Amino acid sequence: MKFTPYRRSTDRYLGEDSASRSLYERALEVMPGGNSRHTLVMDPYPIYAASGRGCMVTDVEGEERIDFVNNYTSLILGHSHPGVTEAVARVIGNGTAFSLPTEADIRLAELLIDRIPYIDQVRFANSGSEGVLLAVRAARAATGRSKIAKFEGCYHGIYDYAQASDSSRPRNWGDSERPATTLEPSMAKSLETEVITLPLNDIAVCSALIDEHRDDLAAVLFDPLPAALGLIPPDVEFVSALRAKTRECGALLIADEVLSFRIDYRGACHRLGVEPDLVSLGKIIGGGFPVGAVAGKAEVMKVFDHRGGELVHHGGTYNGNPVTMVAGYETMKRLTPEVFEELERLGDRTRSGIGEVLGRHGIEAVATGRGSLFATVPGNEPPRDFRAVFTARSAAPQLQRIAREMFNRGILMGARGLFGALSTPMGDAEIDRFLEAADGAAEHVLGA
């Protein structure tokens, strides 16, 4: 592939009069590390955004890039979709939040229930982390048990029980048949016994660990397409066996689809052929505004029903606020099966194209993901668990450098390397530019 000459789009950003640098210096004075989320960390400082339209983002230096991050997958319609912004403007004119309910959250709940075949009810919150937290607490209330199990290395937000073992590394992860529950310094030591860490795709080990804690195990939390594991989906047979095992021991199966819900019209679990007891949602269902949700069958969701004794108390000043609910509804109603088919076609082009580009430059890597999500993992074949992913990434830092170099070629990438999410304003022209930039970036990095 021949790529066209380009002007480095980070020249101004790195210059003496950089607006981004000035903003970062101000941010360091008022925020620890200069940010409120670690996904924004970038060396030597972040590129600050000024505006976004469609699939394009303009930074404070005036440079424009195609956005292949989309606020870490949450903006499936791209930036400032006219239908969404117009609906939000109408809502804002009538009030942004009330101490009374509105029709807006009912409409979004109805749409989600109509779309996801295994849920009867939804409860809204303000982040994916809250959606996971509520699912775990619902599982405890429904089962009368306290422990949860989750998979090594998988990220499920900042709730302590869900974030345990997110920091697993070779120095602390223990035996593969009994993975250690690793903790950050901010977490209570008691989590080492309250959270059971499982290895992905090993049903024999998982079954043994679940049996060991079956009398106390409230739920198993899993992600049908975990970003922290390079968007490697669990084996269908493994998930089926896990579903059977949780039913057999009386624990609930919780699916975290905060990120992965965007891969299919009915969600990632439907695509995988499994029906969890509870599902946590977020990101795209908020239409670009803060959102989270937990959903499931009525017999489980009744733990939130105040009429039955309120087994799980759940407040929240902005839960179901009309701005988010209307933005979410306007977004989701535009996501028809045909839209998902086109996103998948473009996703397939992206994944196959990345594989061809890297292979042409002698880089062994597997293009992963489903639907509108894509990633790359070093190696000749997809790894099957977190340890294999971690080891492969540690041995191949050039993928991270290629992703960073793509900033210079007009492509916005995130901190995870060649990981991204497509949006509906994109077409074949944007995929061509992405692959052209990847080709040039690989040549630059390997020739440096």
CATH number, domain of 141, equals 3.40.640.10
Domain boundary among 293, 311, 334: 334
Residue/partner pairs of 399-402 with CB below 8 Å, 24 or more apart: 399/363, 399/365, 401/445, 402/438, 402/441, 402/442, 402/445
- Does residue 13 form part of some domain? no
Which residues form the domain of 397? 19-76+336-447
- 266-278 tens-digit pLDDT: 999 999 999 999 9
Q: Is the dihedral of CA 431, 437, 442, 445 positive or negative?
A: negative
Query: What pLDDT shows up at residue 447?
Result: 84
- Does residue 2 form part of some domain? no
Is pLDDT of 5 > 50? no
Say whether 256 is catalytic. yes
State the DSSP H helix or E strand holding residue 390, giving kind and residue range, or none if neither.
helix 386-394
- 138-150 tens-digit pLDDT: 999 999 999 999 9
Query: What pLDDT shows up at residue 382?
Result: 87
Is pLDDT of 88 > 50? yes
* Token couple for 126: 């303000």
- Does residue 8 form part of some domain? no
- Report the distance separating Cα 285 and Cα 76, nearest Å: 9
Is pLDDT of 209 > 70? yes
116 and 254 co-located in one domain: yes
The active-site residue out of 202, 283, 329, 385 is: 283
Is pLDDT of 39 > 80? yes
- 402-417 tens-digit pLDDT: 999 999 999 998 877 8
% the chain with pLDDT above 90: 90
276 and 222 co-located in one domain: yes
- Does residue 299 form part of some domain? yes
The active-site residue out of 59, 256, 277, 385 is: 256
Q: Residue 204's closest CA among 178, 184, 233, 236?
A: 178
311 and 429 co-located in one domain: no
- Tell me 257's DSSP state: -
Query: What pLDDT shows up at residue 448?
Result: 63
Is pLDDT of 223 > 50? yes
Looking at the DSSP bridge assignments, the partners of residue 66 are: 56, 411
- 318-375 tens-digit pLDDT: 999 999 999 999 999 999 999 999 999 999 999 999 999 999 999 999 999 999 999 9
- Does residue 14 form part of some domain? no
- Does residue 110 form part of some domain? yes
Scanning the structure block, which residue is given the tokens 């021991």?
249
Q: What is the pTM of this model?
A: 0.95
Q: What's the mean pLDDT when you consider all of the chain?
A: 95
Is pLDDT of 2 > 60? no
169 and 275 co-located in one domain: yes
Q: Which has more pLDDT, 380 or 331?
A: 331
Say whether 245 is catalytic. no
Q: What is the CATH number of the domain that holds 434?
A: 3.90.1150.10
Q: Is 362 helix (H, G, I), strand (E, B) or coil?
A: coil
Say whether 48 is catalytic. no
Query: What pLDDT shows up at residue 344?
Result: 98
Scanning the structure block, which residue is given the tokens 């759940």?
314
- Over range 311-317, report the average pLDDT: 95
Query: What pLDDT shows up at residue 414?
Result: 80
- Does residue 375 form part of some domain? yes
238 and 129 co-located in one domain: yes
- Does residue 443 form part of some domain? yes
Q: Is 336 exposed, middle or buried (0-12, 13-18, 19+ CB in 10 A)?
A: exposed
277 and 311 co-located in one domain: yes
- Report the distance separating Cα 445 and Cα 221, nearest Å: 39
- 144-191 tens-digit pLDDT: 999 999 999 999 999 999 999 998 999 999 999 999 999 999 999 999
Domain boundary among 334, 351, 383: 334
Is pLDDT of 129 > 80? yes
C-alpha distances out from residue 445 to 361, 362, 377, Å? 10, 12, 17
112 and 132 co-located in one domain: yes
Is pLDDT of 1 > 80? no
401 and 343 co-located in one domain: yes
Is pLDDT of 4 > 60? no
Q: Are strands 121-125 and 147-151 parallel, antiparallel or unpaired?
A: unpaired
> How many domains does the structure of the chain reveal?
2
Is pLDDT of 68 > 50? yes
**Strand order across the beta sheet in which 217-222 lies:** 121-125, 292-296, 278-282, 252-256, 217-222, 147-151, 195-198
330 and 340 co-located in one domain: no
Query: What pLDDT shows up at residue 308?
Result: 87
Q: Are strands 174-175 and 365-368 parallel, antiparallel or unpaired?
A: unpaired
Q: Residue 386's closest CA among 167, 211, 204, 189?
A: 167
- Report the distance separating Cα 231 and Cα 169, nearest Å: 19
Domain boundary among 312, 334, 356: 334
- Report the distance separating Cα 197 and Cα 399, nearest Å: 29
- Tell me 185's DSSP state: T
97 and 235 co-located in one domain: yes
285 and 357 co-located in one domain: no
The active-site residue out of 13, 155, 159, 329 is: 155
363 and 258 co-located in one domain: no
